[in-house]
Amino acid sequence: MIVGIIALFLWNIFVRITHLPPYILPNHCLVFKALITDWNELFPSPLITPQITVFAFIVAAISGLLMTILFTKSK
């Protein structure tokens, strides 16, 4: 937790010193504000990733099984 607080502090100092525009490196406060205000748009995205992962795993398992059967039958 202390490392996270230090990282946020250093992030804030870096953004203030370099005067980077927010579209390159936003301040951590802007990131948290966007997470709160745009929650309805951002929340569905993390839900799609596990669905894609499970689907890809099932496809890989089935195709691997079929390839194994094909290779063992070809001898």
C-alpha–C-alpha distance, residues 70 and 48, integer Å: 33
> Confidence band (pLDDT; 50, 70, 90) for 43?
confident
Spell out where 1-75 has E strands: none
C-alpha–C-alpha distance, residues 45 and 21, integer Å: 26
> Confidence band (pLDDT; 50, 70, 90) for 64?
very high
Q: Which amino acid is at 56?
A: A
Q: Which amino acid is at 38?
A: D
Token pair of 45 as six digits = 């995205």
Residue 53 sits in the same domain as residue 35? no
pLDDT at residue 17, rounded to an integer: 93
Q: Is residue 46 over pLDDT 90?
A: no
Residue 27 sits in the same domain as residue 55? no
Residue 5 sits in the same domain as residue 35? yes
Residue ranges making up the domain that contains 32: 1-42
Question: For the chain, what is the mean pLDDT?
Answer: 92
Q: What is the mean pLDDT of residues 37-44?
A: 89
Task: State how many domains the chain has.
Answer: 2
Residue 27 sits in the same domain as residue 63? no
